[in-house]
């Protein structure tokens, strides 16, 4: 649709390690554990304390680093890496991170997860100062801001740059003499720190990557923090204290791996509680509970435990099909889903079924699965979604910026039920989501960003404000209509 602002950065995975001879291999392993956060490209920058060395490419991590030589040329005892998830149309090697900045006084590399809401404004300002951009991505702007900062020392330049950015950002920065990490003032994107037995320090998107490299969890990086790791150890500072934790609820619902823990909450347990709560909020008589593999399995277990209806493996996911969600056309997305999912007929035939999924975005997956279950002889299909109705776009780094594509923005719950062809449809309430995640935080947002469901954005939207206002008007018009 016209006037829609579409960014090129979305949910991604970042990893950094300081102080071990095996830094590059461990970065590879850590990124491997974060592959679910993006499949479009991957890159690693190593640091031998004189120079930074980079290798990056398009595709899955294992494809990018298929040739073992590529890891070997990345020498040094520290490294950072990046796993990229981007929207269709931005497939260029130039957008693959880490980005390198090599001017006379500073050599550094950055990896970013999130989306800046003032990127257009910053780009205009930086262009006016003569900055030549190396990519189409908002992510590089942090590096550009550091380069143009007039502060004297490097740490102050980082603080200065961080204070200029708005939106969701979790950055790891590798300079030749230190590694840094920065979290946005709302901590929208997760970032954790750990330590290995050899004393090396790891900072990365999720605890599952800490586990992968046998690093012991130390702490979550808090909103507004600037962490510095160097030969003297770890220094925890702030670039701003004007902060309020509102971590992205979609991390708990869909993005993070179930074995990760975010701000003290196990993702798997949170999903089970979401499933249990939706069972209480939308009970139904049925023979069997199915989960849509793989992201909904925790919630489906929770639904089954709470309702007493047995869980069974009625659906199979072909593990060799990449993500369908970011395919550019509806036809390709539908084909992708059909290649990915199939049913176990003996579990389905003649049964009343509860189908649990973690979310409905465009409705492609649910529509296809409901049909698949009908074709396999299901008697009735009751769809239960372990998150609330997704009506509002995300501007902080999740690929749901187009309200026109959100089925929840355009139809009522009954309308969506008809669109996907289910016998009944029930969503988790927003309170149910907040209670199920159960973050210990007493601010007005309960520590969570739930804007996708209630439109309560925890920050101003800056460059997206005008577009959002137009869309909100339209969303309001469509509220409750089919």
The helix or strand, by DSSP H or E, that contains position 44, with its residue range, turns out to be strand 41-47
Max distance between CA atoms of the chain, in angstroms, equals 73
Question: CA-CA-CA-CA torsion for 363, 369, 373, 376, nearest 10 degrees?
Answer: 140
Q: Is 357 in the site for ligand AMP (CB under 6 A)?
A: yes
**Nearest approach, Cβ of 267 to ligand AMP (angstroms)?**
14
- The answer to the question of whether 295 is labelled as a binding residue is yes
Q: Parallel, antiparallel, or unpaired for β 424-427 and 261-262?
A: unpaired
The only residue of 9, 78, 249, 359 in contact with ligand AMP, by rule CB under 6 A:
359
The only residue of 27, 47, 205, 295 in contact with ligand AMP, by rule CB under 6 A:
295
Q: Is 248 in the site for ligand AMP (CB under 6 A)?
A: no
Handedness of CA 390, 392, 396, 398 (dihedral sign): positive
Question: Do 336 and 315 form a contact (C-beta atoms < 8 A)?
Answer: no
Q: Is 153 exposed, middle or buried (0-12, 13-18, 19+ CB in 10 A)?
A: exposed
- For every residue of 126-166, DSSP letters joined together read HHHTTPPPSSS-GGGHHHHHHHH---SSHHHHHHHHHHH--
Question: Do 203 and 173 form a contact (C-beta atoms < 8 A)?
Answer: no
Q: Is 139 in the site for ligand AMP (CB under 6 A)?
A: no
- For every residue of 225-240, DSSP letters joined together read EEEEEETTEEEEEES-
Q: Is 439 in the site for ligand AMP (CB under 6 A)?
A: no
Task: Tell me the backbone φ, ψ of residue 312, rounded to 5 degrees.
Answer: -140, 160
**Nearest approach, Cβ of 463 to ligand AMP (angstroms)?**
21
Q: Which is nearer to ligand AMP, 180 or 255 (CB)?
A: 255
Q: Is 325 in the site for ligand AMP (CB under 6 A)?
A: yes
Q: Is 186 in the site for ligand AMP (CB under 6 A)?
A: no
Rounded Cα distance between 66 and 15, Å, is: 19
**Nearest approach, Cβ of 131 to ligand AMP (angstroms)?**
31
Task: Tell me the backbone φ, ψ of residue 211, rounded to 5 degrees.
Answer: -60, -40
Question: Do 142 and 162 form a contact (C-beta atoms < 8 A)?
Answer: yes
Q: Which is nearer to ligand AMP, 171 or 254 (CB)?
A: 254
- The answer to the question of whether 357 is labelled as a binding residue is yes
Q: Which is nearer to ligand AMP, 85 or 180 (CB)?
A: 85
- Report which of 382, 360, 413 is spatially closest to residue 307, judged by C-alpha positions: 382
Contact letters for ligand AMP, residues 203-242 (x by CB under 6 A): ----------------------------------------
Q: Which is nearer to ligand AMP, 57 or 293 (CB)?
A: 293
Give how many residues touch ligand AMP by CB under 6 A: 17
Beta strands in 65-224, from DSSP E residues, in sequence order = 78-84, 99-102, 107-116, 167-175, 179-183, 192-196, 201-204, 215-220
Of residues 275 through 294, those in contact with ligand AMP by CB under 6 A are 292
Calculate ∠ Cα 479-480-482, nearest 5°: 105
Rounded Cα distance between 39 and 35, Å, is: 6
- The answer to the question of whether 358 is labelled as a binding residue is yes
**Nearest approach, Cβ of 250 to ligand AMP (angstroms)?**
7
Q: Is 398 in the site for ligand AMP (CB under 6 A)?
A: yes
Question: CA-CA-CA-CA torsion for 287, 293, 299, 304, nearest 10 degrees?
Answer: 20
Rounded Cα distance between 202 and 78, Å, is: 10
The only residue of 87, 135, 307, 365 in contact with ligand AMP, by rule CB under 6 A:
365
Q: Which is nearer to ligand AMP, 398 or 409 (CB)?
A: 398
Rounded Cα distance between 142 and 111, Å, is: 10
How far is Cα of residue 284 from the mean position of the Cα atoms in its chain? 32
Q: Is 371 in the site for ligand AMP (CB under 6 A)?
A: no
Tally of CB atoms within 10 A around 344: 14
**Nearest approach, Cβ of 408 to ligand AMP (angstroms)?**
9
Question: Do 12 and 84 form a contact (C-beta atoms < 8 A)?
Answer: yes
The only residue of 221, 274, 354, 360 in contact with ligand AMP, by rule CB under 6 A:
360
**Nearest approach, Cβ of 325 to ligand AMP (angstroms)?**
3
Q: Is 87 in the site for ligand AMP (CB under 6 A)?
A: no
Q: Parallel, antiparallel, or unpaired for β 107-116 and 167-175?
A: antiparallel
The only residue of 364, 401, 410, 450 in contact with ligand AMP, by rule CB under 6 A:
364
Q: Is 274 in the site for ligand AMP (CB under 6 A)?
A: no
Q: Is 402 in the site for ligand AMP (CB under 6 A)?
A: no
Binding segment (CB under 6 A) for ligand AMP, from list 106-114, 311-319, 395-403, 473-481: 395-403
Binding segment (CB under 6 A) for ligand AMP, from list 237-245, 274-282, 314-322, 360-368: 360-368
Rounded Cα distance between 144 and 149, Å, is: 9
Q: Which is nearer to ligand AMP, 362 or 374 (CB)?
A: 362
The only residue of 16, 167, 363, 397 in contact with ligand AMP, by rule CB under 6 A:
363
Binding segment (CB under 6 A) for ligand AMP, from list 1-9, 23-31, 308-316, 398-406: 398-406
441 is catalytic: no
Q: Is 362 in the site for ligand AMP (CB under 6 A)?
A: yes
Catalytically active residues are 12
Residue ranges in contact with ligand AMP by CB under 6 A? 254, 292, 295, 325, 357-366, 398-400
Binding residue positions for Mg(2+): 295, 357-358
Binding residue positions: 295, 357-358
């Amino acid at each position: 649709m016209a006037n829609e602002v579409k960014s090129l950065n979305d949910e991604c995975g970042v990893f950094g390690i300081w102080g071990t001879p095996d830094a590059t291999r461990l970065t590879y392993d850590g990124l491997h554990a974060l592959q679910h956060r993006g499949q479009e490209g991957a890159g690693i920058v190593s640091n031998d304390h004189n120079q930074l060395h980079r290798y990056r490419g398009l595709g899955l991590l294992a494809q990018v680093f298929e040739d073992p030589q590529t890891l070997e040329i990345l020498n040094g005892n520290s490294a950072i890496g990046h796993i990229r998830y981007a929207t269709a149309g931005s497939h260029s090697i130039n957008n693959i991170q880490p980005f390198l900045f090599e001017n006379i006084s500073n050599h550094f590399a950055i990896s970013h997860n999130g989306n800046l809401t003032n990127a257009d404004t910053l780009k205009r300002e930086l262009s006016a100062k003569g900055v030549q951009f190396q990519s189409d991505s908002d992510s590089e702007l942090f590096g550009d801001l550091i380069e143009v900062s007039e502060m004297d020392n490097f740490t102050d330049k980082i603080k200065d740059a961080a204070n200029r950015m708005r939106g969701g950002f979790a950055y790891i920065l590798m300079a030749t003499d230190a590694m840094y990490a920065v979290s946005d003032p709302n901590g929208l994107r997760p970032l954790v720190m750990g330590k290995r037995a050899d004393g090396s320090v790891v900072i990365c998107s999720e605890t599952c990557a800490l586990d992968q490299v046998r690093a012991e969890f130390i702490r979550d990086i808090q909103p507004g923090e600037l962490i510095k790791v160097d030969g003297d150890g770890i220094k925890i500072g702030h670039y701003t204290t004007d902060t309020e934790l509102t971590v992205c609820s979609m991390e708990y619902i869909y993005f993070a791996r179930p074995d990760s823990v975010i701000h003290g909450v196990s993702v798997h347990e949170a999903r089970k509680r979401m499933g249990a709560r939706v069972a209480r909020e939308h009970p139904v008589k049925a023979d069997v509970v199915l989960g849509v593999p793989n992201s909904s399995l925790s919630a489906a277990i929770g639904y089954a435990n709470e309702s007493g209806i047995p869980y069974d493996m009625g659906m199979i996911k072909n593990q060799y099909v990449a993500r369908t969600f970011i395919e550019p056309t509806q036809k390709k997305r539908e084909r992708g889903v059909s290649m990915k999912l199939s049913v176990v007929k003996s579990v389905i035939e003649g049964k009343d079924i509860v189908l649990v999924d973690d979310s409905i975005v465009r409705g492609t997956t649910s529509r296809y699965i409901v049909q698949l279950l009908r074709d396999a002889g299901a008697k009735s299909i009751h769809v239960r979604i372990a998150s609330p109705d997704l009506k509002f776009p995300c501007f902080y780094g999740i690929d749901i910026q187009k309200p026109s594509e959100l089925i929840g923005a355009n139809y009522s719950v009954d309308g969506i039920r008809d669109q996907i062809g289910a016998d009944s449809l029930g969503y988790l309430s927003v309170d149910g989501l907040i209670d199920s995640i159960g973050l210990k935080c007493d601010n007005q947002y309960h520590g969570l960003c739930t804007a996708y469901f209630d439109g309560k954005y925890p920050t101003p939207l800056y460059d997206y404000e005008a577009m959002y206002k137009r869309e909100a008007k339209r969303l309001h018009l469509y509220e409750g209509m089919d």
